[in-house]
Amino acid sequence: MTSGFFPHSLRFSGAGYTHTGRVRTRNEDAILLDPSGQLWVVADGMGGHGQGDVAAAMVVDGLATLADGDEPEAILAAQIQHINADIYALATQNGSTMGATLVAAFLQDGVSYLAWVGDSRIYLWRDGALRQLSHDHSRVQELMDQGLIGEAEARNHPDRHVITRAMGVAPAVDADFATLPLRADDRIMLCSDGLTTCVTDTAIADILGGTHGDPQTTAAALVRAALDAGAPDNVSVIVIAATED
């Protein structure tokens, strides 16, 4: 899927794919590409709690109604709380637990307003270097922040799938936000942990900065890399490219 829009002197185009993976029989990820190219979202349903695909779909459907405004981050934050409350209310009504991670990029006036909850990730490729913009809400990330384990240990840690924040598991959610002014040749990647548990940051950087061409080809190459590595989980990737208009 592809789309694009043309604010000011930059042109933004993007593409996204979601795949069940090699092991799961059900895809509980959901992605959103706004037809205008303005809003990009990846949500990863928490299958271990049941109805993860429903929670992920509610995240995507709820953010699809987002509109322009003078305070994009505030608008994004308010909608995230509204969606979280809806998921929590449905789970309470059904006597179950539902949840989903979230990464979103809301592009307005050449600036990307980013939001995340959980361990899905947002990356920036700029000037030949890859940088993770989001910070995982996970048990392993907490251990790394405390200096108790390193990156190599984190990849095989028994708690590597334990997240500390998610949409819909409590009446309110603590989302994180960042603002990124964009420039020509930037690439933003949003993904579920189905990619990052299989593909290293070094390999991701090689694909994003390689000769794979347009976002559609690049996103497909990233999903293929996860599938080639075994893809025990669902895999979702969105790649957004900024070019001179």
The domain spanning residue 49 has which CATH number? 3.60.40.10
Distance CA 83, CA 95 (A): 18
The tally of domains found in the chain comes to 1
Residues 6 or more apart from 103 whose CB is under 8 A from it?
Answer: 41, 42, 114, 115, 116, 120, 121, 122, 134, 190, 191
The predicted structure's pLDDT at residue 2: 46
The reported pLDDT for the residue numbered 49 is 57
How many angstroms separate the CA atoms of 2 and 185, rounded? 18
Full domain range(s) for residue 174: 2-244
- Could you give the CA distance from residue 162 to residue 169 in angstroms, rounded to a whole number? 14
DSSP alpha helices (H): ranges in the chain? Answer: 52-63, 72-94, 139-145, 151-155, 193-196, 201-208, 215-228
Phi, psi angle pair for 8, to nearest 5°: 55, -130
| C-alpha 26 chain-centroid distance | 19
Along the chain (245 residues), what's the average pLDDT of each consecutive run of 10 residues?
A: 53 92 94 86 82 94 86 94 97 90 93 96 96 92 78 74 92 97 95 95 93 86 97 96 85
Q: Is 11 helix (H, G, I), strand (E, B) or coil?
A: strand
Task: Give the DSSP letter string of 120-146.
Answer: -EEEEEETTEEEE-S---BHHHHHHHT
